[in-house]
A and B are shown apart, each in its own frame.
Chain A
């Protein structure tokens, strides 16, 4: 009898399930507009322009279309379409865009948020807030600041000049590939927001430059980084300085370093690959003065050289190590100087380090950090260890 009741219960539950089914958030996969590439601009009128790259799955899967090979001139052949919607704020623009499209916007596949320089300078807090509240947006989406052209230009780079089939894919590939060169530092939405939440720490993210030829956008370069003060863009760092900052943030994975002088000061190129950089930062408080000891341990190997030294000799190797160390030290000091004096932005998060190891001191200085930070002294020591000299130990001697 009990069994009968249970079966009846299950049947009733299942049938009600069929009747009351609303499927309210049901969306068939072919009714979605896959957004890959979300750009935000600020128009002349102060409106927010939302520019999106929406994929056309049919064209993508069928292998391109007529325009693919011939330079992407015709809009029909592109496997994506670019749409724009305006609004007083991001939320409004987003809603407007959704109204214009025959399919519902699907943001989950969008891994890059492109910020127009002008928009970034005006502050991005509100937009970020919307994105973090809405479950549709990926928290792991990268943030890039686009310079040298508009987002429309970026999204309309012809596929004839790129390796991938649409600009978004190209940029995504560049981002994952730049881990090998550390020419930029790209942070994602999550990290950006976390940085914003730390008092007085300044976010930094990648700078995407549109390369133009005869006034037409033909490609992109991901070099250098954009420095923010809170949520407002205040300036850019060059490639060298970006690398130095990544070293300080302990985020450097791999990078190349080129010396333009030989061991004896003669003009020659020696190229090294930095494989590891470990940085320890310790605050030193003496009375009212705060300073930081920065210790950097670098591991590298020799990549290419023009000189004729045999690096397998220990003395030569030591000499080289000293040269590399001083080069890295000066790069770090230069970057710190720019951040302190030019931007007054604590990108590395010294204030955070102070908070962790000397919370009492931090309490006293945190309110006034903007005034204290530019005058802080850093004692940088760099130690380099060259592990390998590539496959060959001795230089090739051309006859």
Chain B
């Protein structure tokens, strides 16, 4: 005797709180109603065993691995069960038999809430509904086409692991797990996003990561109420300490080796399904000037490169401003010969140095932006045209002086030497502010803006860790990994700024 089927509108409104019933027809009807109009949902009605118990297999075409479904679910249920001539039992007993004897799939879960079953179905699992049973078997058959693991395009190394994260969460976690093989390494899952139901994983080492930071991360993640998370950038903006700061307070990387290293220091990684960029907290300013490769290349070179990067940072931030300040306010600071040649070059340039610099810098930024967004072939054309505009034509047309071209070029190249793109952007923005200050107040203006920026940076915190540490508050022990890098055998302790629970990195000193 069939019960009256529930009203479709009622189902759509309340399915999250509804439970499966014993009636297979009603169950399939519910799923049918919910997924009506979707051509990629497959409903496969089968009969199990000699007693021909009706069952229904539901999966999403494209998300579930079809051959897995065919070989490990359909085949045993439809063919193998025919061979067994015994009483398969009824109700729950039968259900257990199916689960234990027939389905040859690694991960199998049992769920009875329609909402939960729906979530799993939509993430690529296969759902097996059997007549007369109020529960559903969730068979893990996720297997969709994704991008292969390939070399990183944003962080490339000369020496070091080449592989980069991909868009699939499980592959990403596996890459981390492969690097840290310890039971204390925990990957916790959660779902964020009302519609997207994006899988977000928190990865950390239980015995190292700071508990407070961990609690804070979880708290902030749980607070997120949004319809969808498409990239880890969403999460970053939601959970950063000071959203009004131009400085990034959460680091991200595309490289599993780098993330693994940071997890080993006691940081917490946040992996978002669909994004190859993994976030790590807490972040300090100094780490944006460290490339992963620093730790793989010998320490002499790495230390020298870090100094070089700091010079590049100062150049990228201040070079045009210093040029403006010196040519409009503090000419006495330029060596005489150079001053004469600058003055000679500027004869006939109609704009003040500030406007000239702004014009060139903006041109350069436009070119850079155009080059990034365009397809490779067109990008080259743009850079050729841009090179001509910046290099030759602007000078010949008398719009800018040749020195200005050098200043802009130096600045541009220097800003490319900053390893972290997000900090480079911050510096690009600050550069313009400082340029205006330099053009109006000279060095006084430059110093004023720098002081403001420094004060702001000193006030920043990332998950309880001061942004400028270990420079200020100063921890001399950790400074050995900021401006230079000490060899690995000398890194006895983990950075104390990140956590204090477990700071011994090496048990014994060498020798």
Interface residues of A (CB under 8 A from B): 3-4, 6-7, 10, 14, 17-18, 21, 23, 25-30, 32, 34, 36, 55, 57-58, 60-62, 106, 108-109
- Find chain A residues with CB under 8 A from B342 CB: 29
A-B contact pairs, 5 of them (CB 8 A): A17-B440, A26-B440, A29-B331, A30-B347, A60-B344
Decide if B440 touches A57 in the complex (CB within 8 Å). no
B residues touching A (Cβ–Cβ < 8 Å)? Answer: 242-245, 327-329, 331-332, 334, 336, 339-347, 349, 352-353, 433, 436-437, 439-442, 445, 452, 456
Query: Which B residues lie within 8 Å of A18 (CB)?
Result: 436, 440
What's the least CB distance linking B399 to chain A, in Å?
A: 14
A201: shortest Cβ distance to chain B, in Å? Answer: 30
B340, A32: Cβ atoms under 8 Å? no
A31: min CB distance to chain B, Å: 9
Q: Which residue of B lies closest to A60 (CB)?
A: B340
Contact residues in B for A108 (Cβ distance below 8 Å): 331-332
Using CB atoms, name the residue of chain B closest to A27. B328
Question: Interface residues of B: mostly helix, strand, loop or mixed?
Answer: helix
Which A-B residue pairs are the 8 nearest by beta carbons?
A61-B344, A108-B332, A57-B344, A3-B244, A30-B346, A57-B343, A21-B440, A29-B327
Chain B residues with CB under 8 A of A27: 328-329, 331
In the bound complex, do residue B353 and residue A4 qualify as a contact, i.e. CB atoms below 8 Å apart? no
A26 to B441, CA, bound (A): 8
| Of the residues B242, B346, B439, B452, contact of A29 by C-beta under 8 Å | B346
Chain A residues whose CB sits within 8 angstroms of the CB of B436 once the complex forms: 14, 17-18
Name the residue on A nearest B401 (C-beta): A30
Task: Please measure, in the bound complex, the distance between the C-alpha atom of A62 and the C-alpha atom of B439, giving whole angstroms.
Answer: 28
A3-B244, A6-B456 in contact; A61/B328 too (CB < 8 A)? no
Q: Contacts A6-B456, A25-B329, A29-B353 given: A55-B340 contact, CB under 8 Å?
A: yes
Task: Contact check, B329 vs A6: say whether CB atoms are below 8 A apart.
Answer: no
CB-based contact B341/A61 at 8 Å: yes
Instruction: For B328, list chain A residues within 8 Å (CB).
Output: 23, 26-29
Report the separation of the CA atoms of residues A30 and B348 in the bound assembly, to the nearest whole angstrom.
Answer: 9
List chain A residues, Cβ under 8 A from B433.
14
Q: State the CA gap A17–B440 with chains docked (Å).
A: 8
Residues of A within 8 A of B353 (CB): 28-29
Q: How far is A62 from B242 in the complex, measured between Cα atoms in Å?
A: 54
What 17 new A-B contacts, CB under 8 Å, besides A10-B452, A29-B343? A6-B244, A14-B436, A21-B440, A23-B439, A25-B442, A27-B329, A28-B327, A28-B346, A29-B331, A32-B331, A34-B336, A34-B339, A36-B336, A57-B340, A57-B341, A106-B331, A109-B336
Would B345 and A61 count as touching, CB distance under 8 A? yes
Most chain B CB inside 10 Å of its own CB: which residue of A18, A36, A58, A62: A58
**Closest chain B residue to A8, Cβ basis:** B244
A55 cross-chain contacts in B, Cβ below 8 A: 340
Residues of B within 8 A of A32 (CB): 331, 343
How far, in angstroms, from A60 to B353 measured CA to CA in the complex? 21
**Contacting residue for B340 out of A7, A14, A26, A61, CB 8 A:** A61
Q: Which residue of B lies closest to A10 (CB)?
A: B452
Residue of A nearest to B345 (CB): A61
Q: CA separation between A281 and B329, bound complex, in Å?
A: 47
Is there an interface contact between B336 and A3, defined as CB atoms closer than 8 Å?
no
- Would you give the shortest CB distance from A311 to chain B, in whole angstroms? 45
Given the interface contacts A28-B346, A30-B346, does A4 sit within 8 Å of B244 by beta carbon? Answer: yes
Contacts of B243 in A (CB 8 A): 3
| CB nearest neighbor in A for B246 | A7
Chain A residue nearest to B352 (CB atoms) is: A28
Contact B344–A58 (Cβ < 8 Å)? yes
CA distance A7 to B459 in the complex (A): 13
Q: Would you give the shortest CB distance from B244 to chain A, in whole angstroms? A: 4
User: Which of chain B's residues has its CB closest to A22's CB?
Assistant: B440
Q: Which residues of B contact A17 (CB under 8 A)?
A: 436-437, 440-441, 445
C-alpha spacing A352/B146, complex, angstroms: 89
Task: Please tell me which one of the listed residues B339, B349, B437, B439 contacts residue A109 in the complex, with CB atoms under 8 A apart.
Answer: B339
- List the B side residues contacting A30 at CB < 8 Å: 343, 346-347, 349
Residues of B contacting A28 in the complex (Cβ-Cβ under 8 angstroms): 327-328, 346, 352-353
Contact, CB under 8 Å: B339 / A26: no
Cβ of B329 and Cβ of A26 under 8 Å apart?
Answer: yes
CB distance from B68 to the nearest CB of A (A): 50
Asked whether A62 and B332 contact (CB < 8 A) given A3-B242, A23-B440, the answer is no
Q: Give Cα distance in the complex from A55 to B433, angstroms.
A: 35
Q: Which residues of A lie under 8 Å from residue B439 when comparing CB positions?
A: 23, 26
Q: Which residues of B contact A36 (CB under 8 A)?
A: 336
Contacts of A25 in B (CB 8 A): 329, 442
Q: How far is the CB of B23 from chain A (nearest CB, A)?
A: 55
Q: Smallest Cβ distance from A189 to chain B, in angstroms? A: 15
Nearest Cβ distance between residue A17 and chain B, in whole angstroms? Answer: 6
Which residue of chain B is the closest to A17 with respect to CB atoms? B440
- A29 contact set on B, CB distance < 8 A: 327-328, 331, 334, 339, 342-343, 346, 353
- Closest-by-CB residue of B relative to A55 is B340
A55 to B340, CA, bound (A): 8
A109–B346 alpha-carbon span in the complex (Å): 18
The smallest C-beta distance from A13 to any residue of chain B, in angstroms, reads 8
Q: What CA separation (Å) do A61 and B244 show in the bound complex?
A: 48
A79 — nearest CB in chain B belongs to which residue? B340
Q: How far is the CA of A30 from the CA of B437 in the complex (A)?
A: 21
A81 CB to closest chain B CB, in angstroms? 14
CA distance A23 to B439 in the complex (A): 8
For A6, A14, A30, A58, the residue with the greatest tally of chain B CB atoms inside 10 Å of its CB is A30
Tell me the smallest distance from the CB of A34 to a CB of chain B, in Å.
Answer: 6
- CB contacts (< 8 Å) of B344 on chain A: these are 57-58, 60-62
Chain B residues near A6 (CB, 8 Å)?
244, 456
How many angstroms between the C-alpha atoms of A229 and B329 in the bound complex? 39
- Within 8 Å CB of B339, what residues of A? 29, 34, 109
The distance from the CB of B336 to the nearest CB of chain A, in whole angstroms, is 5
B148 to chain A minimum Cβ distance, whole angstroms, is: 42
CB proximity of B460 to chain A, nearest CB, Å: 10
Residues of A contacting B343 with CB < 8 Å? 29-30, 32, 34, 57
Nearest neighbor of B445 in chain A, beta-carbon distance = A17
> What is the CA–CA distance of A106 and B329 in the complex, to the nearest angstrom?
12
Would you give the shortest CB distance from B216 to chain A, in whole angstroms?
18
